[in-house]
């Protein structure tokens, strides 16, 4: 059972874009990736699970219980959290992962302006900007279940990202603890108490950073001796991916 729990590091091979903050004509990602985006990307081999297409509503209640791989939200690797150099192909790059963003501007003709442009015989394009996380940005998160692909497509542009895993030797525990990952508030069972943390309000559900919780969790040990703590999520929501009962 222990081999089902892994520390995952993900390196993005292109500019990564997802809209965590949308201010009308400007969209910006935060440095934490929601776990549902990761789970859709890693569970692509399940016929009943379909990734979200623009204009549709995600069916989380239907899809999440069918997924074979559970993932926590992903955070940037750093000296203060989990270390990890970027990976390209089979090689590890001696390069400090940067999560800085690049600003990209755009202009287009919006449908709401067409009538004015035709009536006044003028050109009034819509202008705006969005921000993308630079290539080789590397994140860490935890996975439960499998199989897990070595390359996934992530973000609004479905860029390629490589995943490498380290198996965790886990122990089931209960009590007060501090998770070593961001926490999706919607995933927590009713019995788990939230004692503290910093709330990040991003769609589709809030994420808790630097959480302080009281409830069921697993404590994992990586090959380098580092200790990792993962909250046990709602069993009904992740019945196919989470093996503890």
Q: Mind listing the pLDDT tens digit for each residue in 57-111?
A: 778 888 999 999 999 999 988 766 677 666 676 667 666 666 676 766 655 555 6
Single out the residue of 232, 243, 223 nearest to residue 7, CA to CA: 223
> Would you state the pLDDT for residue 38?
93
Note the pTM of the prediction, 2 decimals: 0.82
Across 41-133, where does the E strand assignment appear? 69-71, 75-76, 87-88, 91-92, 101-108, 126-133
> Would you state the pLDDT for residue 121?
62
**Average pLDDT, integer, range 201-213:** 89
The residue ranking higher by pLDDT, 177 or 105, is: 177
> Would you state the pLDDT for residue 196?
95
Mean pLDDT of the chain: 82
Q: Are 136 and 86 spatial neighbours (Cβ–Cβ below 8 Å)? A: yes
Determine the straight-line distance between the first and last CA of the chain, rounded to whole angstroms: 12
The residue ranking higher by pLDDT, 70 or 52, is: 70
**Average pLDDT, integer, range 171-179:** 96
pLDDT band at 23 (very low <50, low <70, confident <90, very high): low
Hey, which of 26-35, 77-86, 134-143, 200-209 has the most confident mean pLDDT? Answer: 134-143
């Amino acid at each position: 059972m222990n081999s089902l729990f892994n520390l995952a590091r993900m390196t993005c091979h292109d500019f990564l874009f997802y809209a965590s903050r949308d201010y009308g004509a400007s969209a910006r990602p935060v440095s934490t990736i929601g776990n549902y985006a990761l789970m859709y990307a890693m569970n692509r081999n399940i016929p009943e699970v379909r990734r979200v297409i623009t204009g549709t509503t995600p069916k989380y209640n239907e899809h999440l219980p069918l997924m074979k791989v559970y993932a926590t939200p992903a955070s940037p690797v750093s000296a203060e959290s989990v270390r990890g150099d970027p990976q390209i192909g089979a090689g590890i790059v001696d390069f400090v992962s940067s999560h800085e963003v690049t600003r990209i501007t755009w202009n287009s003709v919006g449908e709401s302006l067409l009538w004015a442009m035709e009536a006044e015989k003028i050109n009034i394009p819509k202008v705006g900007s969005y921000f993308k996380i630079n290539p080789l940005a590397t994140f860490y998160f935890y996975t439960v279940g499998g199989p897990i692909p070595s390359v996934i497509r992530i973000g609004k542009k479905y860029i390629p990202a490589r995943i490498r895993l380290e198996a965790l030797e886990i122990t089931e525990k209960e009590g007060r603890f501090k998770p070593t990952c961001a926490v999706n508030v919607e995933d927590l069972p009713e019995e788990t108490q939230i004692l503290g943390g910093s709330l990040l309000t991003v769609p589709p559900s809030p994420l808790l950073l630097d959480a302080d919780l009281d409830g069921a969790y697993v404590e994992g040990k990586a090959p380098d001796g580092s200790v990792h703590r993962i909250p046990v999520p709602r069993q009904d929501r992740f019945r196919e991916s989470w093996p503890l009962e």
